[in-house]
Amino acid sequence: MTLKVGVVGLGWMGRVHLRNYTEMAGVEIVGVVDVDPKAREEVTARFGVTAFATLDELLAHELDAISVCVPTSLHHETGLKIIAKKINLLIEKPLAATAAEGEELVKRAAEQGVALMVGHVERFNPAVARVKELVGDDIISIQIERVGPYPPRIQDVGVVKDLGSHDIDLIRYITGSEYKSVYAVTSTTLGKHEDSALITAQMENGVLASISTNWVTPYKGRKILVACESKYIEANLITQEVKEYSAFSTYDKSYSVREWPLMFREPVKEELTQFLAALRNNTPVPITGEDGLAVLRVFERILPGA
C-alpha cells in the first residue's frame, strides 16, 4: 500500500523527515512546502520533489499524511488547515505553542477522524527503549541532562519548550505516571527566551524527577540516570549506550555492571515508520495528541504566562 505524503517546513527537521521518506518503500512524496525560495530550490535539486510556496498549494493534492515541521508558533494554524482536509498528520514537538491551541488540535482531529501524532522522537531512541524495558515498578528517581550550544535556528521558543519538551515527555513515558508537582528555575543569558533551566518534579506514583537543560554548554550532552530499588540504569542517548548496575551489596561492598549492546538506529526513521504503519493498519499512533497535550500543560505550570 503506497501512502502519499507531504512535508511542511524545510528547516533542519523538515529535511530529516523528507530524507527519510525518500528512503522508505511504499511512500510517494506528493510535495513539500516552505516560504523560502532557496530552501525549495535546494530540496528540489537534492531530492527531486515538487516544492510549493504555500500550504494551500500542497493541500490541493490528494494526500494520506503530512509531517508538520514549521516553527512551534505556526503549529496550530498549520495543523488546523490540514485537519480540515481530513489528512493525517505528525506534528513535530511540541504539539503547539499553548495548551489551549493543543486542545483545539486534539479536539478537531478527533472530530474529523484524523490520526494526530506528536513527534517526541526520543521515544524511538533504542537507548530509551532499553531503559523502558529495564525499569520495573521500583523506580525511586529519574534524572535527565540535555544540554548543548545555542542554536540560532530556534527563534520562537526557549530551551524548556525546545530541549526540555523531550524530557518532560520521557519522564511520563518511563515512569508511566503523570506529574503531581513540578517546578522550575530558569535564566536568560543569550537571547530573549530562557536558555538555562532546572526542572524538578514528583510524579503521581511517587517517583522523583529532575531535568537539567541549557543552551550554554559547548557540547551536546544527553543522559538519563534511573535509580531503582533493585538496580541503577545509565543511558547515553547520543551514543545509544546503556549500563545496568546491580544493587550495591553492603555485604561484600560491590556491585556488578552489565552493558546492554544496542543496534544503532535513527530515531526519526523509526518514528516515521511507526506512524505510517499505524495508518496502514488503522491502529492508534504511538504518541497521541493527548501525550503532546500533557507536555504543554506542564509547560504552563512551570512557565506561567509564557
130 and 164: one domain? yes
168 and 136: one domain? yes
98 and 207: one domain? no
CATH number at residue 168: 3.30.360.10
In 3D space, the residue among 101, 112, 42 whose CA is nearest the CA of residue 74 turns out to be 101
Confidence (pLDDT) at 179: 98
- In-domain check, residue 86: yes
171 and 241: one domain? yes
Per-residue pLDDT tens for 199-228? 999 999 999 999 999 999 999 999 999 999
34 and 60: one domain? yes
Confidence (pLDDT) at 174: 97
- Domain span at residue 131 reads 122-265
- In-domain check, residue 259: yes
Per-residue pLDDT tens for 26-57? 999 999 999 999 999 999 999 999 999 999 99
29 and 131: one domain? no
Confidence of residue 305 (pLDDT cuts 50, 70, 90): low
Q: For the chain, how many residues are written?
A: 306
Asked if the model's pLDDT at residue 246 lies above 70, the reply is yes
Give mean pLDDT, residues 92-117: 97
Phi, psi dihedrals of residue 257, rounded to the nearest 5°: -125, 135
Give mean pLDDT, residues 106-135: 97
- In-domain check, residue 112: yes
- In-domain check, residue 43: yes
Confidence (pLDDT) at 263: 76
Full-model pTM: 0.92
Count Cβ atoms within 10 A of the Cβ of residue 284 and give its class: 0-12 exposed, 13-18 middle, 19 or more buried.
exposed
Asked if the model's pLDDT at residue 304 lies above 80, the reply is no
Give the Cα separation of 80 and 271 in Å (integer): 22
Report CA 243 to chain centroid distance, whole Å: 23
Phi, psi dihedrals of residue 32, rounded to the nearest 5°: -130, 160
14 and 143: one domain? no
C-alpha cell at 1: 500500500
Give the Cα separation of 39 and 153 in Å (integer): 14
* Mean pLDDT value across the chain: 94
- In-domain check, residue 294: no
Per-residue pLDDT tens for 269-280? 999 999 999 999
CATH number at residue 280: 3.40.50.720
108 and 203: one domain? no
- In-domain check, residue 245: yes
- In-domain check, residue 49: yes
100 and 140: one domain? no
13 and 79: one domain? yes
166 and 87: one domain? no
User: Do the Cβ atoms of 94 and 299 come closer than 8 Å?
Assistant: yes
Please give the tally of structural domains in the chain: 2
- In-domain check, residue 98: yes
212 and 181: one domain? yes
Asked if the model's pLDDT at residue 106 lies above 90, the reply is yes
